[in-house]
Amino acid sequence: MDSSSPSGGLFRRFPLEARSVPLARRFVRSALRGVAPEVADTAELLTSELVTNAVLHACTEVEVRVWSYGGQVRVRVGDGRPDRPLVPRALRPYAGAGRGLAVVAELASSHGAHVGEGRKAVWFELWPKVPTPPTSGWVTSPVHGRSATVSLIDVPYIVFLAAQRHADELLRELMLTAHVEERAGVSRPALLVAADVANVISACMTSALEQTVTSGATVTLDIAVPPGAAPAVDTLRHVLERGDAAAQLESLLTLPAPPHLRNHYQWVLDQLVTQLSGGPPTAWTLLSGAPDATSVELGPWDAGDVEDSRVPTAAADDDGRIIAANAALAELLGWPTDELIGRPLTVLIPEHLRERHRAGFTALRLTGRSRLMGRSIPLPALHRDGSLVPMRLHVQSQEAVDGRTVRIGQFMPRATAPEEDRPVTHPDPGPPLRLHTGAATEPRAGGEKATPAWERLSLLADTTAALSSTLDLREGLRRVCHVLTQQMAVWCVVDLLDEHGDAERVCVVHREPQALRAGVDLGRLPPVSENARGPLARVLNGAGPLLITEIPSPDKAESALDARQLQLFEQLDASSTIMAPLRARRDVLGALIIVRTGHDDPFTEQDALLVAELVKGISLSVDNARLHQHTRNTAERLQRSLLPRLPHIPSMEITARYAPSSTTAQVGGDWFDAFTLPDGDTALVIGDVAGHDLNAAVTMSQLRNMLRGIAVDCQDQPSEVLRRLDLATLTLYPHSTATCAYAVVKGPHNGLWEVHHSSAGHLPLLLTRPNGDTRYLDSASGLLIGMDSTLPRLSARDLLPAQSTLLMFTDGLIERPGESLSDALNRLRRHTAALAQAPLHVFCDELILGLGAGSTDDIALLALRPSVPGT
Mean pLDDT over each residue of the chain, to the nearest integer = 79
Q: Which whole-number Å values give the CA distances from 610 to 103, 455, 798, in the listed order?
A: 45, 11, 71
- d(CA 703, CA 695) in angstroms, rounded, equals 12
Q: Would you call the peptide bond into 545 cis, given omega within 30 degrees of 0 as the criterion?
A: yes
- d(CA 488, CA 62) in angstroms, rounded, equals 72
Residue type, 311: V
Whether residue 239 contacts residue 171, with contact meaning beta carbons closer than 8 Å, is answered with: yes
Architecture of domain 452-632: 2-Layer Sandwich (3.30)
The CATH class given to the 643-866 domain equals alpha beta
**Lowest-confidence region among 73-82, 200-209, 493-502, 605-614:** 200-209
pLDDT tens digits, 336-370 = 888 888 888 888 888 877 777 777 777 666 665 55
Whether residue 852 contacts residue 827, with contact meaning beta carbons closer than 8 Å, is answered with: no
Instruction: Mention every residue, 6+ apart, whose C-beta is less than 8 A from residue 803.
Output: 770, 865, 866, 867, 868
Q: What is the model's pLDDT at position 759?
A: 95
Q: What is the model's pLDDT at position 641?
A: 64
Residue burial 462-496, b: 16+ Cβ < 10 Å; e: rest: bbbbbbeeeeebeebbbbbbbbbbbbbbbbbbbbb
Q: Give the three-state DSSP class for 371.
A: coil
- d(CA 762, CA 784) in angstroms, rounded, equals 8
Q: In the structure, how many helices (H) and strands (E) does the chain have?
A: 21, 30
Superfamily covering domain 300-426? PAS domain (3.30.450.20)
Architecture of domain 10-126: 2-Layer Sandwich (3.30)
Most confident of 66-70, 144-148, 532-536, 742-746: 742-746
Most confident of 216-225, 451-460, 545-554: 545-554
Whether residue 247 contacts residue 256, with contact meaning beta carbons closer than 8 Å, is answered with: yes
- Residue 204 burial by CB count (10 A; 0-12/13-18/19+): exposed, middle or buried? buried
pLDDT tens digits, 248-264 = 887 888 888 877 778 88
- d(CA 109, CA 128) in angstroms, rounded, equals 8
User: Using CA of residue 727, residue 730, residue 731, residue 733, what is the dihedral sign?
Assistant: positive
- Using pLDDT thresholds of 50, 70 and 90, give the confidence band for residue 238: very high
Q: What is the model's pLDDT at position 676?
A: 93
Instruction: Mention every residue, 6+ apart, whose C-beta is less than 8 A from residue 691.
Output: 668, 669, 699
Q: What is the model's pLDDT at position 800?
A: 94
- Using pLDDT thresholds of 50, 70 and 90, give the confidence band for residue 446: very low
pLDDT tens digits, 83-134 = 776 766 655 544 555 567 778 888 888 888 888 777 888 889 998 876 666 5
Instruction: Mention every residue, 6+ apart, whose C-beta is less than 8 A from residue 35.
Output: 43, 68, 71, 73
More confident position, 802 or 617: 802
Q: What is the model's pLDDT at position 400?
A: 58
Enclosing H/E stretch for 64 = strand 62-69
pLDDT tens digits, 634-656 = 666 665 666 788 898 889 999 99
